[in-house]
Amino acid sequence: MLRCSRRCRWYLLVALSAYLTEQPPPRAANLAPPREGSTVVIDGVSRAYPASAGPAAGVFGVYGTLAAGSFVTVSGPSGSGKSTLLNLVAALDHPTSGRLVVDGRDIAAAPERDRAQYRLRLVGCLFQDAPLVGELSVANNVMLPGLLARSDRRQVRRRAGELLERVGLDKQSDRFPAQLSVGQRQRAALARALMNRPRLLLADEPTGNLDRATGRQVMELLAGAQQEGCTVVVVTHDPEIAAAGDQNLRLLDGRLVA
């Protein structure tokens, strides 16, 4: 039985749903070459959580276009709906109304099989507490999305090595997550998020638990992903990071105010 942190649930959902809904795969397919970022159109999206008392919570009537290859920041007070919005774009949750059009296709209305493939092949996710699988080495954690996507094992291993070097963890590749610092775990989670060369990289407060210097490192790595063409979306409470994006979405009580 895998020990699992709260956010680990996300990774297991991605892995299991991709595995269970996989169509007969082209075995040992090559890893996709670098590709362009996705364009995301948020078209009147709402996600209302039922409230037993008081006003409903969630996000309400959000419109916006995240341009391909841009660096988008999402800010707002605690409870304003930032994670809710990110989970919708990641297809981890369904909107109660509205459309989420990614590269011309409404992923909110897509069948679960397609949503699972979208999560596995097109999206990379990074959360504040870096949910690595505790029983796997750092290298195997990074390789996991490539293996789930049935890419060629040698290429997956090679890319994991390159990514671990890029995030400065090549010497820690045989360690287990519990043997890493918080910042190292976050960098390993970023390497894993980049394994399948996502078009869309979604990061929910990726620097929230890090000291300033390590936080800056992670932000530089995210900027590197953008330079490779990825559309990067970062939820942040840090006004400096929020201001540095090509576009800042500001939420208040579940509504977009900027």
Ligand X SMILES: Nc1ncnc2c1ncn2[C@@H]1O[C@H](COP(=O)(O)OP(=O)(O)OP(=O)(O)O)[C@@H](O)[C@H]1O
Q: Which residues bind ligand X (CB under 6 A)?
A: 49, 57-58, 76, 78-84
Shortest separation between residue 239's beta carbon and ligand X, angstroms: 14
> Considering beta carbons, is residue 58 or 245 the nearer one to ligand X?
58
Segment 80-99, which members bind Mg ion (CB under 5 A)? 83
CB of 78 to Mg ion, least distance (A): 7
The percent of the chain in helix, strand and coil, each rounded to the nearest 5, is: 40, 20, 40
Q: What angle do CA 89, 93, 98 make, to 5 degrees?
A: 65
Judged by beta carbon distances under 5 to 8 A according to partner kind, the member of ligand X, Mg ion, none in contact with residue 63 is none
DSSP strands (E only) in the chain = 40-49, 57-66, 71-75, 97-102, 105-106, 123-127, 200-204, 231-235, 247-252, 255-256
Q: Which amino acid is at 95?
A: P
Q: CA of 214: how far to CAs of 68, 116, 172, 230, 250, in Å?
A: 27, 32, 16, 22, 25
Name the minimum Å distance from CB 155 to Mg ion.
35
Residue 39 or residue 80: which is nearer to ligand X going by CB?
Answer: 80
Residue 78's binding partner among ligand X, Mg ion, none (Cβ under 5 to 8 angstroms by kind) is ligand X
Residues 232-251 that bind Mg ion (CB under 5 A): none
Query: C-alpha angle with apex 68: 65 to 73, nearest 5 degrees?
Result: 60
Q: How far is the CB of 89 from ligand X (least distance, A)?
A: 12
Taking residues 136 to 155 in sequence order and writing x for each that binds Mg ion by CB under 5 A, - otherwise, the string is --------------------
Task: Report what 79 binds from ligand X, Mg ion, none; CB cut-off 5-8 Å by kind.
Answer: ligand X
Cα angle value 84/104/73 (rounded, 5°): 40
Least spacing, CB of residue 12 vs ligand X, in Å: 18
* In the complex, minimum distance from the CB of residue 82 to ligand X, in angstroms, rounded to a whole number: 4
CA dist., res. 221 & res. 210, Å (int): 14
- Residue 19 or 49: which CB sits closer to ligand X? 49
Q: Name the residue nearer to ligand X (CB basis): 6 or 171.
A: 6
Task: Name which of 83 and 172 has its Cβ closer to ligand X.
Answer: 83
| Half-sphere exposure for 113 (CA within 13 Å, toward CB) | 5
- What single-letter DSSP state applies at residue 49? E
Q: Are strands 97-102 and 40-49 parallel, antiparallel or unpaired?
A: antiparallel
Q: By C-beta, is 62 or 66 nearer to ligand X? A: 62
Site map 56..85 versus Mg ion, x via CB under 5 A: ---------------------------x--
Q: Based on the number of CB atoms within 10 Å of its own CB, is 214 exposed (0-12), middle (13-18) or buried (19 or more)?
A: middle
Q: Comparing C-alpha atoms, which of 107, 123, 129 is closest to residue 202?
A: 123
Q: Between 44 and 79, whose beta carbon lies closer to ligand X?
A: 79
